[in-house]
Amino acid sequence: MATLAHCFFCFDVLAARFEKRKHLSLLQVEHLCKRYQGKDESGNSTTLDPEHDSNQGDEDDSMSDPDQGLEEPSTEDEEEHQASAAEPVEESVAQPSPLRLPTISRLQAPSPSSASTSSTPSTFSASSSRLALDEPASKTSSSTSIFSFGRRSQQPSPVLREEHCPLFVTWNTISARGNKSLRGCIGTFEPQELSAGLANYALTAAFDDTRFSPIEPAELPTLAVHITLLNTFTPCAHVLDWELGTHGLRISFTYHGRRMGATYLPDVAVEQGWTKEETVVSLMRKAGWTGRSKEWRNVPDLKAVRYEGKGEGCRWSTWRDWRAWVDQQTRDENEKK
């Protein structure tokens, strides 16, 4: 299940990219988030910015764009390529970059073309990720005990080190009137180690969703992030063998000699007010099917996989307040030395 710490981590990765510093590790963020929420060992009482409670989990939830959760059409050749991955996907997968991220877009616009026109991350993603992951740490972050605790006293447990999960990272902008607009969304059905996976996809969604220009530093105060961790993938007995509001859906089918597929995350159908049949038809159309709605059952080899996933989200202001608290803790500890 996604957590507030996962959201803070993605914001810190993105901010670090612009600030040309090393971001905190996921383990550090989780530890500091617990302290911030009043769960530290000393028993100090701290409170979470109430803005999180009023916005949590809604960064995707009120999207009016019915294309959310979609992938480009995939072809037979793409499927054979994807079958070599740890978790094969029917949807189009970006061509390997130096980081070899098996990226897919949650909100990819439909395309009538085949693999040659699939969304392909630019080399910006690889360089961006390296900047965020490999850049030397700043003096402030490397010299203080609040940032070095993970190396000195709180080594991750085997469970934390080995946790892998398919995931999606979504960036939205929030207007002064509270209107939400998609700014980038990239994910993968291949299980990812959370620390590396969240860091990589936070940057890929911010800079390499080809439907949008890369996020600019000036946009940071308007941003909200939403993280969805996926689990429990189960082949459906039939294409309607899933529950609205509980399951996400991946479909695949053959059309004009090509293998096509698309996916919706668990919240999409309920947000749009669709029935299960309407959801399937919408998925088929976004995958490239152009037949009559009433004829969807006649499409050859229509298959579906259901999955579950719980999301978490927060806005920039919530992360900013947490980060200010972290910086203050650092200054306080340095003054004690």
In tens, the pLDDT along 48-94 reads: 443 443 343 343 333 334 444 433 334 333 332 222 222 323 333 33
In tens, the pLDDT along 117-135 reads: 233 333 333 333 333 333 3
Measured at the alpha carbon of residue 26, what is the angle toward residues 24 and 29, in degrees to the nearest 5?
65
pLDDT for 336 equals: 83
| Alpha carbon distance 266, 192 (integer Å) | 19
Q: Tell me: pLDDT of 14 over 70.
A: yes
Q: Tell me: pLDDT of 12 over 90.
A: yes
Query: Which residue type does 78 have?
Result: E
Element (H, E) at 311: strand 303-315
Mean per-residue pLDDT over the chain, rounded:
73
| Alpha carbon distance 144, 286 (integer Å) | 50
Q: Are the C-beta atoms of 148 and 210 separated by less than 8 Å?
A: no
Neighbouring CB atoms inside 10 A of 68's CB total 19
Residue with more model confidence, 108 or 246: 246
Q: Tell me: pLDDT of 137 over 70.
A: no
Q: Are the C-beta atoms of 106 and 68 separated by less than 8 Å?
A: yes
In tens, the pLDDT along 222-276 reads: 999 999 999 999 999 999 999 999 999 999 999 999 999 988 989 889 988 999 9
Mean pLDDT of 105-123: 34
CA distances, 173 to each of 2, 181, 220 (Å): 20, 5, 9
pLDDT for 162 equals: 52
pLDDT for 278 equals: 97
pLDDT for 157 equals: 44
Q: Tell me: pLDDT of 110 over 50.
A: no
Q: Quick one: what percent of the chain has pLDDT higher than 70?
A: 63
Write phi, then psi, for 105 (nearest 5 degrees): -100, 130
DSSP-based three-state secondary structure for 313:
strand
Q: How far is CA 247 from the centre of its chain?
A: 17
Q: Quick one: what percent of the chain has pLDDT higher than 90?
A: 55
Least reliable range by pLDDT among 23-27, 178-182, 196-200 = 178-182
Q: Give me the helices (H) in the chain, please.
A: 4-19, 26-36, 50-55, 76-82, 123-134, 139-143, 145-152, 158-162, 194-207, 268-272, 276-287, 316-336
**Whole-prediction pTM:** 0.67
In tens, the pLDDT along 201-224 reads: 999 999 999 989 999 999 999 999
Polymer length in residues for the chain? 337
Q: Are the C-beta atoms of 172 and 59 separated by less than 8 Å?
A: yes
